[in-house]
Amino acid sequence: MEGKTVKRKRITVKQTALVITVAALCLTVLFPFWLLAVKSFKSFEQEIASPISLSFPLFFENYSVAWAYVKE
C-alpha cells in the first residue's frame, strides 16, 4: 500500500447548491403525485381529518365509484 495517495474530492459550494436545487425541483414535481395517490385511498371523513398523510383503513370504494363512471 506504500506509494498510493488518497485523493479526496472537494465538494464545492456550486455542487451543493446544485444538489439542493435539483432535490427541491424533484420534490416539487413528485409531491402532486404523492397527494394523488394518498387522496385516492381516503374517505371524505379521512380527508378532513388528515389531508396529506395516509390514513387507515384504506378506502378502496373510490376506485369502484370511479370505474362506474367510466362504464357509463
Cα angle value 31/33/34 (rounded, 5°): 65
Check pLDDT > 60 for residue 49: yes
Sequence-separated (6 or more) residues with CB below 8 Å from residue 62 = 40, 41, 42
Domain residue ranges in the chain: 13-71
Asked whether the whole model's pTM tops 0.75, one would answer no
Sequence-separated (6 or more) residues with CB below 8 Å from residue 50 = none
pLDDT in tens, 2-44: 667 767 777 788 889 999 999 999 999 999 998 888 888 888 8
pLDDT score recorded for residue 3: 63
